């Protein structure tokens, strides 16, 4: 009986060692994947910063003004003037819906005959 317990304990230790070995490699693989993802996120953020800088460069007011002047015949773009804008009190908002309160509503009680 004692030998059986020794063999069972020995096999349990070997099984747990094998399980710990596999878990260790799974953990290392997950950490490597996280590191790769972080590197990819950093690269994407750098590309986004470059794209934002390029967008700001291409949307400079003086550049857009020059482009609109060069392409005036085709686009017919004009500059904004203050008199083109209106005031808030000039906006016509739709009237709120009117509820029909002329139709009577019949009410009932739960069988209570009190007035």
Asked if 68 and 75 count as a contact pair (C-beta separation under 8 A), the reply is yes
Mean pLDDT of 75-82: 84
The confidence band for 110, taking pLDDT boundaries of 50, 70 and 90, is low
Specify the pTM: 0.52
**Residue 33 above 70 pLDDT?**
yes
**Residue 46 above 90 pLDDT?**
yes
The confidence band for 90, taking pLDDT boundaries of 50, 70 and 90, is confident
Between 95 and 110, the higher pLDDT residue: 95
31-37 long-range Cβ contacts below 8 angstroms, 24+ apart: none
CA atoms of 19 and 83, how far apart (whole Å) = 77
The confidence band for 37, taking pLDDT boundaries of 50, 70 and 90, is very high
């Amino acid at each position: 009986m004692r030998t059986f317990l020794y063999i069972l304990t020995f096999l349990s230790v070997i099984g747990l060692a094998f399980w710990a070995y596999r878990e260790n490699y799974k953990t290392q693989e997950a950490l490597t994947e996280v590191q790769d993802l972080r590197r990819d996120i950093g690269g994407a953020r750098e590309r986004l910063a470059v794209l934002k800088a390029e967008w700001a460069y291409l949307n400079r007011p003086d550049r857009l003004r020059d482009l609109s002047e060069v392409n005036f015949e085709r686009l017919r773009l004009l500059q904004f003037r203050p008199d083109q804008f209106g005031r808030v009190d000039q906006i016509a908002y739709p009237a709120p819906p009117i509820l029909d309160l002329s139709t009577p509503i019949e009410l009932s009680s739960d069988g209570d005959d009190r007035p």
